[in-house]
Amino acid sequence: MQIISDPLELRAALRMLRASGGPPLPRSVGFVPTMGALHAGHRSLVQAARQRCDVVVASIFVNPTQFGPNEDFSRYPRTLEQDCQMLEDERVDVVFTPAAEVMYPPGASTFVDVEGVGERLDGASRPGHFRGVATVVAKLFHIVQPDFAFFGQKDAAQVAVLRKMARELDFPVDMVICSTVREPDGLAMSSRNRYLSAEERRQALSLSRALLAAQTQADHGEQSASALLETMRATLQDEPAVRVDYLAVVDPDTLLPLENVAAGALLAVAAYVGSTRLIDNVLLPPRGGNAGVSGKKKS
């Protein structure tokens, strides 16, 4: 496995890798962008890339522009050695580890803003967050030029923002969205779980419990978004260390609120558990019968 921090060197290595090996040539490139502190969720993305693509590239870059001034950029876990070991075990071909000055040279002032979607859910709670995400992913796409890029469904709002960006900026990249990976007790895998004390971790389980309760209610025929929101709220309010940031029943593409979930919906939650902000979500599939768009709220 090659570890490369210079974009030009990466491009040269990828030119070789695309052209090497047997037919079919050029070989397909799968890309898994990460901020490191890798866990089983990242492993599943890399495995999906390995299964589908000839060449697998992962990036590790803690992107400063997606953190707000009072967020955890400086204490975000940096575990490069263990991360590279995991990537090597999963037969990744190249790891890209650029420095911040390389991604953002002094005076850099060009950003990608996905208006509307980028200001909803986490974009509303964390102003500027998705501008940072879209900018760095656009830059990484230009540098790596992947055929496929792999993202986790756990970051559902990020998925909506990046899909729209890729479509509207004509990136020739197939976006592959992989299911959320959970601990056996239901907690969604996150690099930030390591901030939690044992008691906070116990209370953090209320996020997945709340989603499961609402999902079960929907499975039994409840279609009203406000009823599902109430179920989630009731589950979360039992835990004193949990402070809800948002609870949402939205269209998974536009992130606009829905009144009725018959046509499918994203149930999403963000909450502080102690001082750690966690997110989680489930996708409700469209229900049979009259699953039109009448439940969509006009914005």
Judged by CB under 6 A, which of 35, 48, 157, 196 binds ligand PAF?
35
> Per CB under 6 A, which region of 29-37, 108-116, 209-217, 261-269 contacts ligand PAF?
29-37
Q: What is the nearest approach in angstroms of ligand PAF to the Cβ of residue 197? A: 24
Distance of CA 65 to the CA centre of its chain: 16
- Spatial neighbors of 211 by CB under 8 A, at least 6 apart, are 232, 267, 269, 280, 281, 282
| Strand, coil or helix: 284 | strand
Q: Which residues are catalytic?
A: 42
Q: Which is nearer to ligand PAF, 153 or 231 (CB)?
A: 153
Q: Does 34 bind ligand PAF (CB under 6 A)?
A: yes
**Interatomic CA distance for residues 45 and 164, integer angstroms:** 20
- Contact at 8 Å (CB) between 46 and 56? yes
Of 196-235, binders to ligand PAF (CB under 6 A) are: none
Structure tokens at 246: 């948002």
* Number of residues forming the site for ligand PAF (CB under 6 A): 10
Judged by CB under 6 A, which of 37, 103, 133, 232 binds ligand PAF?
133
Residue in this structure with the two tokens 């967020």, named with its chain if needed: 71
Q: Which x/- pattern over 134-153 shows residues binding ligand PAF (rule: CB under 6 A)?
A: --xx----------------
- Helix then strand then coil, in percent of the chain rounded to 5, is 40, 20, 40
Distance of CA 176 to the CA centre of its chain: 11
Q: Does 48 bind ligand PAF (CB under 6 A)?
A: no
| Strand, coil or helix: 145 | coil
Structure tokens at 297: 């709220």
* 221, burial (CB in 10 Å: exposed 0-12, middle 13-18, buried 19+): exposed
CB atoms within 10 A of CB 50: 18
> Per CB under 6 A, which region of 79-87, 129-137, 231-239, 242-250 contacts ligand PAF?
129-137
> Per CB under 6 A, which region of 132-140, 172-180, 256-264, 290-298 contacts ligand PAF?
132-140
Q: Which x/- pattern over 57-86 shows residues binding ligand PAF (rule: CB under 6 A)?
A: ------x--x--------------------
Q: What is the nearest approach in angstroms of ligand PAF to the Cβ of residue 137? A: 6
| Strand, coil or helix: 281 | strand
> Per CB under 6 A, which region of 27-35, 93-101, 181-189, 225-233 contacts ligand PAF?
27-35
> Per CB under 6 A, which region of 2-10, 33-41, 103-111, 272-280 contacts ligand PAF?
33-41
Q: Which is nearer to ligand PAF, 61 or 231 (CB)?
A: 61
Strands 55-60 and 29-34 come out as parallel
Q: Does 37 bind ligand PAF (CB under 6 A)?
A: no
Strand order in the sheet with 265-273: 242-250, 265-273, 276-284
Contacting positions for ligand PAF (CB under 6 A): 33-35, 63, 66, 133, 136-137, 155, 158
